């Protein structure tokens, strides 16, 4: 099988699975227990937190474990809007955010919040100036993702953070960095966001574990889950020790020779663009600078048919974000693409282990689909 859908999820290395199995079998104590097994588990959680925090570029005390990126996104909104409940009920975000953000915003609109959704230009870019122009005196929160999961566009979060200090210093900033963590260079201490969402399964870790960075400007964060006092009292529930260990091990593996891995993915993406350009009428949806995401369209050829044909050939690509399960995404809608182009969008996404031979196979399969199937749109 050729796997080219790393933006949806990533393969779990054997070392990660082995470490999780070891923890499940040997360090199964409850971190809240006071005997030796509990202390060992508690230390495992602390060590895992430090490992992920080091990779994120923040103090361990600012990183909290969650169940996933979606939970992290939602907690960031809960905490930010609680702190700024007297600032106002206005939110600025983009029309191309992950559905975890957009669905939360739709819920909030029913509760009386006003949300400004910024649309990208035809190349998928959103400028810091456009974001800052939308900020008002009553803006409680700005949420802009770091890397778009469908186009690979990298958004100017650091520039937005710097501009907010002058525009409205009380406005808090959240970024969903699920597609950016260990894929584009950044550090929490220089990025400037008050909240940063992470997810382990995008970097070779297990599903079911994520993280949320909460910066110093957030005073006494609103708890996501009150209860037994875990995660400094802000996210109760017995810690998922095996998943935390897997997250930390995945971070360790990914950070080894990280520069070379990012360069390899960028070279693979460039090679894929070169090979796919040979297919008649193929359109590049965006040439976003993230090294691991590439969206293209074969106008007239429905994306789900393309995905199915390649699946039959043992090649995994996506018709868009996996979160949409085959439905048209908000990203293609926001880009204002022609109907035939939008309906033919597919995404290829790469990992450090992706090879040129795999790209060759995908390019040939896409060309075969183009040459042997009749356009339907």
Instruction: Express each pLDDT in 31-59 by its tens digit.
Output: 999 999 999 999 999 999 999 999 999 99
Q: What is residue 119's predicted lDDT score, i.e. its pLDDT? A: 97
Q: Would you say residue 144 has pLDDT above 90?
A: yes
Mean pLDDT calculated for residue range 236-241: 96
Q: What is residue 324's predicted lDDT score, i.e. its pLDDT? A: 47
Q: Would you say residue 377 has pLDDT above 70?
A: no
**pLDDT classification of 328: cutoffs 50, 70, 90:** low
Judge whether 337 lies within some domain: yes
Judge whether 377 lies within some domain: no
**Tokens describing residue 221:** 């964060």
Q: Would you say residue 370 has pLDDT above 80?
A: yes
CATH code assigned at 334: 3.90.1150.10
Judge whether 347 lies within some domain: yes
Residues 18 and 100 grouped into a single domain: yes
Judge whether 251 lies within some domain: yes
Residues 302 and 165 grouped into a single domain: no
Residues 249 and 271 grouped into a single domain: no
Residues 294 and 237 grouped into a single domain: no
Largest CA distance in the chain: 68
**Tokens describing residue 106:** 């739709």
Name the pTM for this structure.
0.96
Give every CB contact of residue 139 below 8 A, 6+ residues apart in sequence. Answer: 87, 88, 90, 91, 92, 168, 171
Judge whether 155 lies within some domain: yes
CATH code assigned at 208: 3.40.640.10
Of the residues 68, 105, 316, 323, only one is catalytic, namely: 323
Nearest to 195 by CA among 180, 169, 216: 216
Q: What is residue 320's predicted lDDT score, i.e. its pLDDT? A: 65
Mean pLDDT calculated for residue range 91-96: 98
Active site residue 323: yes
Q: What is residue 327's predicted lDDT score, i.e. its pLDDT? A: 59
Pairing of strands 172-176, 195-199: parallel
Instruction: Express each pLDDT in 250-260 by its tens digit.
Output: 999 999 999 99
Q: Would you say residue 139 has pLDDT above 90?
A: yes
Of 255, 273, 298, the position where a domain reaches its end is 255
Q: What is residue 322's predicted lDDT score, i.e. its pLDDT? A: 44
Residues 267 and 242 grouped into a single domain: no
- How far is 209 from 250, CA to CA, in rounded Å? 12
Mean pLDDT calculated for residue range 292-319: 96
Average pLDDT in the chain: 95
Nearest to 329 by CA among 3, 1, 69, 7: 7
CA 224 vs CA 63, 65, 71, 77, 170: distances in Å: 14, 11, 9, 10, 22
Of 228, 255, 282, the position where a domain reaches its end is 255
199 backbone dihedrals φ, ψ, rounded to 5°: -150, 135
Residues 205 and 267 grouped into a single domain: no
Residue 263: which domain range?
2-10+257-372
Q: What is residue 323's predicted lDDT score, i.e. its pLDDT? A: 44
Residues 296 and 184 grouped into a single domain: no
Mean pLDDT calculated for residue range 308-322: 88
179 backbone dihedrals φ, ψ, rounded to 5°: -90, -5
- How far is 149 from 139, CA to CA, in rounded Å? 26
Mean pLDDT calculated for residue range 294-302: 95
Residues 139 and 217 grouped into a single domain: yes
Residues 150 and 223 grouped into a single domain: yes
Judge whether 103 lies within some domain: yes
Mean pLDDT calculated for residue range 120-148: 97
Q: Map residue 297 onto helix, strand or coil.
A: strand
Residues 238 and 272 grouped into a single domain: no
Of 188, 220, 255, the position where a domain reaches its end is 255
Q: How many domains does the chain have?
A: 2
User: What is the C-alpha end-to-end distance of the chain, expressed in Å?
Assistant: 30
Judge whether 52 lies within some domain: yes
Instruction: Express each pLDDT in 187-238 by its tens digit.
Output: 999 999 999 999 999 999 999 999 999 999 999 899 999 999 999 999 999 9
Residues 105 and 249 grouped into a single domain: yes
Residues 69 and 44 grouped into a single domain: yes
- Report residue 276 CA to chain centroid gap: 25
Share of the chain above pLDDT 90, in %: 93
CA torsion through residues 167, 170, 176, 182, sign: positive
């Amino acid at each position: 099988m050729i796997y080219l859908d790393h933006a949806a999820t990533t393969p779990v290395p054997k070392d990660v699975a082995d470490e999780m199995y070891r923890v499940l079998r040997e360090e199964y104590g409850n971190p809240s227990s006071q005997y030796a097994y509990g202390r060992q588990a508690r230390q495992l959680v602390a060590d895992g937190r430090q490992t992920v925090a080091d990779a994120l570029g923040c103090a361990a005390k600012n990183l909290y474990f969650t169940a996933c990126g979606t939970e992290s996104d939602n907690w960031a909104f809960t905490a930010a809007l609680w702190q700024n409940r007297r600032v106002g009920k206005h939110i600025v975000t983009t029309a191309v955010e992950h559905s975890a953000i957009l669905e939360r915003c739709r819920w909030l609109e029913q509760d009386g919040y006003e949300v400004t959704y910024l649309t990208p230009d035809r190349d998928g870019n959103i400028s810091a100036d456009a974001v800052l122009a939308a900020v008002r005196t009553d803006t409680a929160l700005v949420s802009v993702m770091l890397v778009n999961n469908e186009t690979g566009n990298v958004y100017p979060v650091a520039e937005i953070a710097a501009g907010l200090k002058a525009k409205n210093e009380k406005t808090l900033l959240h970024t969903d960095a699920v597609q950016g963590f260990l894929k584009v260079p950044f550090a929490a201490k220089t990025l400037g966001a008050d909240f940063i969402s992470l997810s382990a399964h995008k970097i070779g870790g297990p599903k079911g574990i994520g993280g949320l960075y909460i910066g110093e400007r957030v005073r006494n964060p609103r708890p996501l889950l009150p209860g037994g006092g875990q995660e400094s009292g802000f996210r109760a529930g017995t810690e998922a020790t095996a998943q935390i260990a897997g997250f930390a091990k995945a971070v360790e593996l990914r950070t080894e020779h990280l520069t070379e891995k990012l360069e390899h993915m960028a070279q693979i993406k460039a090679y894929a663009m070169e090979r796919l350009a040979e297919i008649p009428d193929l359109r590049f949806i965006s040439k976003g600078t993230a090294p691991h995401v590439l969206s293209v369209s074969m106008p007239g050829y429905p994306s789900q048919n393309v995905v199915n044909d390649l699946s039959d050939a043992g090649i995994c690509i996506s018709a868009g974000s996996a979160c949409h399960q085959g439905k048209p995404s908000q990203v293609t809608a926001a880009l204002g693409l022609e109907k035939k182009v939008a309906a033919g969008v597919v995404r290829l996404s790469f990992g450090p282990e992706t090879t040129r031979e795999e790209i060759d196979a995908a390019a040939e399969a896409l060309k075969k689909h183009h040459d042997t199937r009749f356009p339907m749109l």
